[in-house]
Structure 1
């Protein structure tokens, strides 16, 4: 979850501020390319593999009788589920709508398209960055509580 939180944070603190400082065509063109390129096996492994690994850790924590550890893992899973919900309910539809508009040179009223995309995308990206970071923090806390045996 740390890699996923870091990726989202990079968009929140660098990518989107950089793109929003650019002109409408540059922002739309760059986002269309990123939307296509980010959907790759490495991204999906990082983004969707994290909760699977956390669920495995939860099973192990419960088997070892570590209720406190399990509670923190559950908290991390709940927070990361919120991250995924925001992604699939807000970002994916916005991304696909923008991607499917085609060449920015042929989009009518590019400024309105940009505004309709950027405001909700950036707002909800902050939310999912916070939930992903909190999820990672919860898992880190669980790790510090889990009894280590050698």
Structure 2
């Protein structure tokens, strides 16, 4: 593998990891606090629309592409003299990203699916219960995702730095 291809995989992995970390951060810092101020019907309907909208190819590219490219980079960098310095950083990035995947598929997605299965909000007391069943746990675990995605990003960035220093003349 050429140094340019290894660097490209490492850079792309870092960028995609940053996009996913930024998504979780945005939800933690603005989307969910903003929706916390909304009435139950607005809260439920908005999240149902977000759940539908986020299932698209651009999101999938980042969400799936980040860990795939972290692995590709980890396979590629040892073939570049000095590139192996990035390996511990990439391992940490991947492990942190795996935590975000576990939280997503064990907590956030099932909560999203339950919210969607309840159908449209009706504007009554049932909406308040649906919100209580969803909001606190989803928000708490999204913060966990944001923290681990940010740690994954920081580790990937450390890999970029280590790769650059390790391969510099």
Work out whether the TM-score is over 0.5.
Answer: yes
Unpaired stretches in structure 1, ≥5 consecutive residues: none
C-alpha distance in 2 between matches for 1:106 and 1:24? 7
Q: State yes or no: 1:78 paired with 2:116.
A: no
C-alpha distance in 2 between matches for 1:62 and 1:148? 11
State the secondary structure of the residue aligned to 2:122: helix
Root mean square deviation of aligned Cα = 1.6
Residue number in structure 2 paired with 1:27: 43
Higher mean alpha-carbon deviation, 119-128 vs 64-73, is at: 64-73
Residue number in structure 2 paired with 1:133: 150
TM-score (norm 1): 0.94
Q: State yes or no: 1:59 paired with 2:59.
A: no
| 1:101–1:107 contact (8 Å) kept in structure 2 | no
State the secondary structure of the residue aligned to 1:105: coil
C-alpha distance in 2 between matches for 1:107 and 1:43? 33
For 2:109, which of 84, 92, 113 is the aligned residue?
A: 92
Higher mean alpha-carbon deviation, 73-82 vs 59-68, is at: 59-68
TM-score (norm 2): 0.84
C-alpha distance in 1 between matches for 2:27 and 2:70? 24
C-alpha distance in 1 between matches for 2:37 and 2:85? 45
C-alpha distance in 1 between matches for 2:131 and 2:154? 34
Residue number in structure 2 paired with 1:46: 62
